[in-house]
Structure 1
């Protein structure tokens, strides 16, 4: 059974993308998901949040060269795990510490399931992809 108390933050400028990713988490049993649409909102919630976030998913395009997302998320005690998607600059390793990086435009159910196996060890279906339409 998934840990329903995990705090998940999704940051993407596009409403449809945020909604789609949130629904993937809902399919896996996670409902404490907060979507944000701007870099300013992301920074405020991470920096000034009362409790650390268990997982932050962020579209790399949101940083727009203004912020080193990888460095910010990797060194931040308020972020336990992070997933940067839509990253088009290849020098960053796909997994480094608590941060995973993907060139995919959007994470899919398989990548979310794999990600959650690291974030939530109680996840019952690690390695199994469930297709729900």
Structure 2
């Protein structure tokens, strides 16, 4: 079950790419999405103490004209919890499996597809521990008779 309250920010200069990623997220039942097209908008939205984002999905090239490394930018922004960078020459995943409260930082060589977004969301928004047991009929069987 997805957390309907997750706030997601997508940043890319290409409008078509923004729409594509937003549709992929919608298919995964995420709808609190803000698409933006400029680095200035990104700075503005992530500087506010009243707004925070659970996930930033950003084209790494967005900061290049400003001499900004997007990974460093995100580390310096406490209002960005997790980040996915794409169009990156050095794909990687920074994830500490022993500490699920740590932020995830992932880099993809290409824009995210349905599979990579699904995998990322399963890491940052894992299903409830007992959600899969709800469908088991023996849990919902007839009440035990009093002895």
Q: TM-score, structure 1 length as denominator?
A: 0.84
Matches within 5 A, 1:72-83: 72-83=73-84
Q: Unpaired segments of 5 or more residues in structure 1? A: 126-133
CA RMSD between the two structures: 1.9
TM-score (norm 2): 0.76
Which structure has the higher relative contact order (CA within 8 Å, separation 6+)?
1
Matches of 1:14 and 1:51, distance apart in 2: 24
Q: Report SS of the residue matched to 2:64.
A: coil
Larger radius of gyration: 2
In the TM superposition, what whole-angstrom CA distance separates every residue of 1:39-88 from its partner, at most 9, and x where no partner exists? 11011101125132100000011111521111111342111100000012
Give structure 1 regions of 4+ aligned residues with deviation exceeding 3 angstroms.
none
Asked if 1 retains the 8 angstrom alpha-carbon contact of 2:45 and 2:51, the reply is no
Work out the number of aligned pairs and report it: 121
